Structure 1
Amino acid sequence: MDVLTRLVVMIGLLAVGVGLRTGDILTARRVGWLNSVAFYVVLPALVFDSTHDEPLGEIISVRLLVGVVALVAVTAVIAMVVHRRLESPSARAAATVQSYHTNLGYIGLPVVASALGERAAAIGSVVLGIGALVQIPLTVMLLVRITGAGTNVRDELGRLVTNPVLIALLVGLAVSQAPFAVTGRPAAGIALVAEAALPIALLCVGGSIELESIDFDRSIVGRVLALKLLAMPAIAWLVLLAVGATPATLRTVVVMFGAPTAVSTFIYVTEMGGDRRLASVNVFLTTVASAITLSALIALAP
C-alpha cells in the first residue's frame, strides 16, 4: 500500500467512525463493544503475532528502554514549559498531557505493522509496553498536580498491570524463548485477527471522539498539534540517535510517536478536572492531521 493510498484509507476509516457516531449508528454502547473487541482481542493478537517468533535480543535493548523513557520525559517537560502561561488550570492540564501522551496502541502499532513490516511490528510491540508503563502514571500525576484533583492511583496501576495488551506482550516474548513454536492454523488464525487491528482501531477512534463545539482556542490547539505531531517525532529521532539505536528501532519509534493524542487522555482529563471540550478537540484534530504527518514520516523512513 503506497503512502497516498494509506492516507486515504486512514482518513476514510476515521471519517466513517465519526459519521456512524454522528448518525447514532455507533452509539456509546456500541463504541464500547467495539473498543472491547479492539482492546481484548485484536490488539493483543497483533502484539502476540508480532513477537512470538522474533529473537528477543533483536527487539529489546537497554537503548530502546532508555530512549523511550527519555523521549516521553523530554516532551512532557517541553509541553509543561510551552503551556505554563495558560491561566486556566483545566486548559493547561489538557494541553500539557495531550502534547505527549501518544495513541501507541490503536494507531501507532497498527500503522507500524501495516507500513513497516514484521520486525518493526515486533519492536513496536515492545515500545507499546514501555510507553504504557511510562505515559499512564506520568499523565495521572501531572493531571493531579495541575488540577489538584484526587484520584486512586492504586486503581490506575492495577488496571495497567492487568492490561491485556501488556499481558499479550509478555506471553509473546516468553513464547519466543520457549523450545516450542506457535505454527500452523493457530498462528494463521492469530495473524488473520491481527490484520484487522488498523481498521477496527480507526473506527474506534472515530466513534469515540466527542465534539461538543467547533469553537476552540486556536493558539492552544495549534501548540498541541505542533508538539504532538511535529516536535515529538523530531525529539524521538534525536533521542534514539543519541542512544545509538539501530536504524530499524529508530524508524519504528519515530513513526509510533508520530501518532496522535491518545483517546484515553479525554477520559483522564474529564475524570480529573481538566477541560473536557479542549481535550475532545485535541483528540479529533491530532487524529485527523496525523493521517498526513504519519504518511510523511513513513515516506521519509529510510
Structure 2
Amino acid sequence: MNLLDVFLHTLNVTLPVFAMVFLGIVFKRIGWIDAHFITTASMLVFRATMPTLIFLSILRADLDVALQPALIGYFLGFSVLSFFLAWGWAQWRCPFEDRGVFAQGAFRGNCGIVGLALAASQYGDYGLSLGGIMVGGIILIYNVLSAAVLAYHSASAKSGMLAIIRHVTKNPLILSVLLAIPFAYFAIDLPEWVMASGNYFGAMSLPLALVCIGGTLSFTSVKRSSKLALDASLWKIVWLPALGVLGGFALGFRGAELGILFLFLGSPGAAASFVMTKAVNGNAQLSANIIVITTFASLFTISAGVFLLTALGLI
C-alpha cells in the first residue's frame, strides 16, 4: 500500500464519522435542530438505541475472537494511569478548584460514541463487538474517577460512594454489555424479526449521536479558550494516546487491536464531562472549551495517527 492509498484509507475511516458532526453544526445553524431536539435525541441514544447497538454487536460476535482480555485489561489500566497523570499535572498547573475539571477533561474520552463509530468504520462488526465490551468497562472507570475527583475539588458536590455506585449500576450501556455476554456465550438465538427490528433501531445510534455532538459545539467557545483548556486538550488527544499506543506496541499489540486502542484513546472529550462539572458547580466554561477543542482537533490528530500507524504497517 503506497502513501496515497494509506491517505485515502485514512479519510475513509475518519471522514464519515466527522462528517456527521459537521452536519450537526450546519443543522443547528440553519435551525433544523435545536437544543430541545438535541436533549431528547441524546437521551434516546443513551437509554435505548446505543444499548441496542452494543447488545446486538456482542450477540453477533464470536467471543473467542472479540473478547480480548489482555487488550481490554491494558486499555482500562492505562486509562486509570492516565487519570492520575493528568491529575498530578493539574496539581502544578491549575488552581485547586479547577484541578478536578482539568483531570476529567484530560483523560475522559467520548469512547461510547466517537470511539465506537471510528472502530466500526475501520473494523466493522469486530470493531463494534470488541469496542462495545471496552465501552462497558471504561464507562465504569470514567464515572467513578470523574465523580470522585470533581467531588474532592468542589465544596458543593454531593456525590457519595453510594450515589456513584447507584449511577454506574443503572447505566444502560453497562447493562447492555452485561446482558449481552451470556447471550453470546451460550449462543442464545433471538427471533429473526427481533434481530431485524433491533438492527434498524440500533443503526440510528451513531449518526444521531454524532449529529447531536455537532449541534452542541460552538466556535465562540473556541475563541474564548483558556490556556488550561488547550493544555488539557493536548493531554487528551496527543500525549495520552501517544503514550498508550507506545505501551501497547511494547506489549505486542498489532493490527486491529492496536488500531482500536488508538481510536479509543484518541477520542475527543466526552460531553458527559460538562454535565458532571455543571452538577457540582465547577468551572463549566473550562469543561466546555476542552470538549470543543478536542472534538475539532481530533479530526486531524486521529487522521494523522491512523495514517502513521497504517504507513508503518502496525494496523
1:168 aligned partner: 176
Contact 2:58 2:177 survives alignment (8 Å): yes
Take 1:213 and 1:177, find their aligned partners in 2: how far apart are those partners? 46
The alpha-carbon deviation at position 80 of structure 1 amounts to 1.8
2:227 aligned partner: 219
Give the secondary-structure state (helix, strand or coil) at the position aligned to 1:102.
coil
The alpha-carbon deviation at position 90 of structure 1 amounts to 3.5
Take 2:61 and 2:254, find their aligned partners in 1: how far apart are those partners? 16
Are residues 13 and 128 of structure 1, via their aligned partners in 2, closer, same or farther at CA, if it must alter by over 3 Å?
same
Percent of aligned positions that are identical: 19
Are residues 80 and 35 of structure 1, via their aligned partners in 2, closer, same or farther at CA, if it must alter by over 3 Å?
same
Do residues 107 (structure 1) and 114 (structure 2) align?
yes
Do residues 29 (structure 1) and 36 (structure 2) align?
yes
Do residues 141 (structure 1) and 137 (structure 2) align?
no
Aligned pairs for 1:1-302 within 5 A? 2-22=9-29, 25-153=32-160, 154-182=162-190, 184-209=192-217, 213-241=221-249, 245=253, 247-299=255-307, 300-301=309-310, 302=315
- TM-score, structure 1 normalization: 0.88
Where is the helix percentage greater, Structure 1 or Structure 2? 2
Q: Once structures 1 and 2 are overlaid, which stretch shifts more, 227-236 or 242-251?
A: 242-251
Take 1:90 and 1:20, find their aligned partners in 2: how far apart are those partners? 36
The alpha-carbon deviation at position 159 of structure 1 amounts to 2.4
Take 1:125 and 1:234, find their aligned partners in 2: how far apart are those partners? 22
Q: Once structures 1 and 2 are overlaid, which stretch shifts more, 155-164 or 3-12?
A: 3-12
Take 1:74 and 1:215, find their aligned partners in 2: how far apart are those partners? 31
Q: Deviations over 1:65-84 (max 9, x none)?
A: 43123211221122123222
AA aligned opposite 1:111: L
Q: Deviations over 1:153-183 (max 9, x none)?
A: 3333222212221222122211112243236
Q: Once structures 1 and 2 are overlaid, which stretch shifts more, 213-222 or 259-268?
A: 213-222
- TM-score, structure 2 normalization: 0.85
Q: Once structures 1 and 2 are overlaid, which stretch shifts more, 56-65 or 106-115?
A: 56-65
The alpha-carbon deviation at position 244 of structure 1 amounts to 5.1
The alpha-carbon deviation at position 223 of structure 1 amounts to 1.7
Take 2:62 and 2:13, find their aligned partners in 1: how far apart are those partners? 29
Contact 2:151 2:157 survives alignment (8 Å): yes
Give the secondary-structure state (helix, strand or coil) at the position aligned to 1:139.
helix
Give the secondary-structure state (helix, strand or coil) at the position aligned to 1:147.
coil
The alpha-carbon deviation at position 27 of structure 1 amounts to 2.9
Take 2:51 and 2:241, find their aligned partners in 1: how far apart are those partners? 25
Q: Deviations over 1:72-110 (max 9, x none)?
A: 122112212322234533433222110001111121112
Are residues 122 and 97 of structure 1, via their aligned partners in 2, closer, same or farther at CA, if it must alter by over 3 Å?
same
AA aligned opposite 2:119: V
The alpha-carbon deviation at position 212 of structure 1 amounts to 6.6
Take 1:152 and 1:70, find their aligned partners in 2: how far apart are those partners? 24
Contact 1:98 1:261 survives alignment (8 Å): yes
Q: Which runs of 5+ in 1 are unaligned?
A: none
AA aligned opposite 1:180: I
Q: Once structures 1 and 2 are overlaid, which stretch shifts more, 115-124 or 172-181?
A: 172-181
